[in-house]
Structure 1
Amino acid sequence: MFKATKLGDDWDTVESLAINSENYSVKNPSVSADGKTIYFASNMPGGYGNFDIYKASINTDGTLGESVNMGQKINTEAQEMFPYISSNNTLYFSSTGHLGLGGLDVFYTKEIDGKISTVRNAGIPINSNADDFAFIIDEETNQGLVSSNRAGGKGSDDIYEFKKLEPLCDVLVIATVLDDKTREPIAGATVALFDTEGNKVLSKITNAEGLAEFMIECEHDTELEVVMDGFDSKKVQVKGSNEEENNVQINLDPIEKLILAETIDLAPIYFDFDKSNITTQAAFELDKLVQIMNKYPEMKINAISHTDSRGPESYNTGLSNRRAKTTVQYVISKGISEARISGEGKGETEPKVDCSARCTKAQHAENRRSEFIIVDSLQQ
């Protein structure tokens, strides 16, 4: 890459940029609106794939600072090229490594407080099943150009004009994890971000201030799951917002709060109708039991499983026994000795809700539960 200075109507003083090298290529430059940063593609050593997106500061004298790789959230093992930084600091680029429609697709993201937001596909009609690249846009008029070798063009690579692109909108979720008793921050807690489908998106560890930060799309509901040794794990719903920041405080109780006189007070562990497998929610609760039993090695537990009243009584007895066995096996699989936990199925004989007349689905679900009885006193 080169730079030139315009003197009157002529371009003069052509200079090679310091980021050039005989050992690799640099190409596709784009300069930020304030003139302080240049973005480009390069296959220099140390990247994540073939061509990666880099940036470098532009000094007041026109020289360039150190080349900085834009990171693994943008760059993949494949190709990332044609960066374009718009007037509102949205970074557009083309990639074959992110999930796309085929060939090179245009993607976009934004850097907020040094953090890269979610990388999104620009979608149809910007992208096609062919190569789509060299994207530029005027953020004020929402008009722009994109190159493509899609079917129906005049030649191999054609230039297409378009109007309007949906604006990028992200929220920085700042989770602060505190000890509910002391109100001190908890460092080292695992905070996982889940989408609305219950899929884990990202997991982070809290820093010394008890903070973990996530960048999510505006107006998207999410869930945070916080796990820390010695504390009761917690799940928190995060309502969608279009504010720049969403601060969420999560207070954790000491794990001992779950130990009552004769039972372990877990959230209800429900089973799906006519099923005995451990659900994701059940595993979340059972992991708390495992943590308690690890902390108190003399503790012994009897896991009692119950069913609802639908189906023959003999069948429900067998089903509850299978559920108790599955529960016990899960705990043992986490390293607890089989001598310390037993299981028992009660069938429909001890309902929490009397369904002799009629029950709702929710009430039937309440009866499909497990209880954890302490059968040996704690030895602390």
Structure 2
Amino acid sequence: MKIKNLLYSVLFFCFFFMANAQTSGIKNADKKYDSYAYADAVKAYESLVEKGVRDEKVFQRLANSYYFIGELQEALKYYQELFILNENQEAEYMYKYAQCLKWEGSYAKADEILVKFSQKAPSDKRAVLFLKNRSYLEDIKENSGRFDVADAGINSKDSDYGSTILNNKLVFTSARDTGNIIKKNFKWTNKAISTLYAVDLNPDGSIGKPMLFHKENLKVNFNQSTPVFTKDGQTMYFTRNNSVDGKRRQNENKITFLKLYKAVLIGNEWKEVQELPFNSDEYSVAHPALSVDEKTLYFASDMPGTFGLSDIFKVSINADGTFGTPENLGPEINTEGRETFPFISDENELYFASDGRPGLGGLDIYVSKINKDSSFDEVQNVGEPINSKQDDFAFIINSKNRNGFFSSNRANGHGLDDVYRFTENRRLICEQQISGTITDQETNETLSNVTLILFDEAGKSAIETKSDDNGNYAFPNVRCGKKYFIKTSKEEYLFKEVSVTLKKATGSVSLPIALEQKPKPITAIPVVIKANNAIKPVKVTINIGTDLGKLLKIPMNFFDLGKATIKKTSEPQLQKMVDMLNQYPTIKIDIRSHTDSRSSSESNQVLSDKRAQSTKDWLISKGINANRLTAKGYGETQLVNKCADGVKCTEKEHQQNRRSEFIITSL
């Protein structure tokens, strides 16, 4: 008995020791993870897994750590293990899992996960973008094949990235010759930042030997990267570890974030190095870019007001060298994912990297034109071969010769990240011309001097033109793949709005428009209607265009839902129309039938056509001459309220759209 008790005691203490060691190991790994030391966290968590730990949180953080340092292959392995442990994960793990599935080319499986992600987080911008762009791979394919890409010829076995141009030199970031510093990683860059190198860009297209860029005042004991220079080459903005007087600075949690610094070229040395006023010890500010006029500085940050892991911000540079208040570029650009490495081209285009938009995997490079009102045009994926299944970022381009550089950790590179050069041989811009002739609806005569205004679904991009002497109009250089509306106005004619959806291919579309003359008033006609079983004479002024249904207060809807047969209970009301037409035998009417938005637009069109014809046939059966009647269905194309497809409305609101109209066309 004593031996058995002793054995139990030994087993108990062994179990207690192992459990205590496991708890201690998890705490140690969590500490590294919480301080953004993801490479170190990977080793700590993997050590626990190798010892048989099957803790869900361990797999979550191990997979995330690999994701944040850009090693998607290893991240995928542990996300798969995580979802085997528990399929019901939080939305964020679903999204990262899908991104890693794209790394191995499993786009169908990735999309399945993204559907579940969208159901779990329907308001997330990434979910909205995915559901809105289910054909994103086809769109990316259309944008692909526009670049010739080659190795930049400057890469080492370590991390090289984040290039810019200064006086025919390529200045870039490299971790070569920096030893273990490469293990320190930050959540908005996938790898370590280190120090600056420069290389000559020779006129014959060859590249010189990379040399340290640092002048004496830039030599420091910690990392710096991603510079941008003013056009005169006298001012530099760059990223550096948080430091004061050459010493690394940490916050109360012993975390060193990134900050932006400014330096001025005095003689041949960069001096007066100073940090920018909107830096903080509590968040990172990194990767600067200058606007064309150099009055605005763009950068990436996770400062308060950030949507995701990092967003792109801008801040004004005042004439006296001070700075305004940083502004988030908003949901037009930023998502709940990572947006980083902004660049502004000479054509005022914003290029940036993001993993929050439908893409090929990891960070992809996107572009959006900055409009005159500072809003952003459609964001587009620049396509392959610039983008790959892994992280692609730090894109810059010379708008004149269409040459440039970008960074990537794609397969078959030299090191962790590499710099690639490219030539763009076909522009991304896809444009069409919308044109046509304006005519009179009745006479078919062409109409000159008609004002036309073109705008998109968001009510933006308004362009105005007029029809010429032959009634012709044209809107050139209209962006492809979007739905547009054209509003017309001309004295003596009714306002009209028409829509057109452009294909995603350069070309042209013809859109003739016929306008209807404004109705001309006629003298008052005494109309006799029955009310409360009595004869009550009412005098009104009726015009061409008057709706007799409203005049006679006939209920708009006299059909059962989904039916095209007039209800018996509605016939007494319709008899008022028969009496009116018999009283005024010269009046002609156009019967117009409308449905609500429920059911498909095709079935609604068929139903409304049948209802209009059914109403016409009923009036004819009551003795009204057929040549006084026309009939047409409009389906759900002319809703009178907000209740379009997908909009939640009450039954009463839907009923307002289910209506019939009796429009006077001749008197």
Query: Could you tell me which residue of structure 2 aligns to residue 235 of structure 1?
Result: 498
| Alignment match of 1:76 (pick from 335, 341, 355) | 335
Residue 147 of structure 1 and its aligned partner are, at CA, apart by 0.9
SS at the partner of 1:5? strand
Deviations for 1:2-61, whole angstroms, at most 9, x for unmatched residues? Answer: 011111111111101012122321111011343221110111222332211111121223
Q: For 1:198-347, what aligned pairs fall within 5 Å after superposition?
A: 202-204=457-459, 218=479, 222-224=483-485, 234-237=497-500, 257=545, 259=547, 263-266=589-592, 278-279=601-602, 282=605, 303-305=612-614, 334-335=654-655
Query: Could you tell me which residue of structure 2 aligns to residue 104 of structure 1?
Result: 363
| Alignment match of 1:4 (pick from 263, 272, 283) | 263
Residue 165 of structure 1 and its aligned partner are, at CA, apart by 5.7
Inter-partner Cα distance in structure 1 for 2:352 and 2:261: 21
Structure 2 gap segments, 5+ residues each: 1-259, 434-450, 463-476, 488-493, 507-512, 520-543, 549-586, 616-632, 641-650
Query: Could you tell me which residue of structure 2 aligns to residue 245 of structure 1?
Result: none
Structure 1 gap segments, 5+ residues each: 174-184, 186-190, 194-201, 208-215, 243-248, 270-275, 290-300, 307-323, 342-371
Q: For 1:58-97, what aligned pairs fall within 5 Å after superposition?
A: 58-97=317-356
Inter-partner Cα distance in structure 1 for 2:408 and 2:390: 7
Q: For 1:120-135, what aligned pairs fall within 5 Å after superposition?
A: 120-135=380-395
Q: Structure 1 residues 278 and 104, CA, compared in 2 at 3 Å: closer, same or farther?
A: closer
Q: Structure 1 residues 75 and 35, CA, compared in 2 at 3 Å: closer, same or farther?
A: same
Which AA in structure 2 matches 1:42?
S
Query: Could you tell me which residue of structure 1 aligns to residue 409 of structure 2?
Result: 149
Q: TM-score, normalised by structure 2?
A: 0.34
Report if aligned partners of 1:91, 1:110 keep a CA contact under 8 Å in 2: yes
Residue 99 of structure 1 and its aligned partner are, at CA, apart by 1.6
Inter-partner Cα distance in structure 1 for 2:315 and 2:324: 5
- 1:37 and 2:311 aligned: no
Q: Structure 1 residues 63 and 165, CA, compared in 2 at 3 Å: closer, same or farther?
A: farther
| Alignment match of 2:396 (pick from 136, 148, 155) | 136
Report if aligned partners of 2:547, 2:662 keep a CA contact under 8 Å in 1: no
Higher Cα radius of gyration: 2
SS at the partner of 2:613? strand
Residue 335 of structure 1 and its aligned partner are, at CA, apart by 1.9
Query: Could you tell me which residue of structure 2 aligns to residue 316 of structure 1?
Result: none
Query: Could you tell me which residue of structure 2 aligns to residue 159 of structure 1?
Result: 419
Q: Structure 1 residues 3 and 152, CA, compared in 2 at 3 Å: closer, same or farther?
A: same
Query: Could you tell me which residue of structure 2 aligns to residue 17 of structure 1?
Result: 276
Q: As a proportion of its length, which structure holds more helix?
A: 2
Deviations for 1:306-351, whole angstroms, at most 9, x for unmatched residues? Answer: 9xxxxxxxxxxxxxxxxx9x99xx998822599x87xxxxxxxxxx
Inter-partner Cα distance in structure 1 for 2:338 and 2:286: 13
Deviations for 1:294-314, whole angstroms, at most 9, x for unmatched residues? Answer: xxxxxxx964359xxxxxxxx
Query: Could you tell me which residue of structure 2 aligns to residue 356 of structure 1?
Result: none
Inter-partner Cα distance in structure 1 for 2:325 and 2:547: 56
Which one is further off, 164-173 or 85-94? 164-173
Q: Structure 1 residues 71 and 217, CA, compared in 2 at 3 Å: closer, same or farther?
A: farther
TM-align CA RMSD: 5.2
Deviations for 1:235-283, whole angstroms, at most 9, x for unmatched residues? Answer: 24488999xxxxxx998999983737565454999xxxxxx96528839
Q: As a proportion of its length, which structure holds more strand?
A: 1
Inter-partner Cα distance in structure 2 for 1:37 and 1:6: 20
Q: Structure 1 residues 335 and 84, CA, compared in 2 at 3 Å: closer, same or farther?
A: same
Report if aligned partners of 1:43, 1:52 keep a CA contact under 8 Å in 2: yes
Inter-partner Cα distance in structure 2 for 1:58 and 1:233: 46
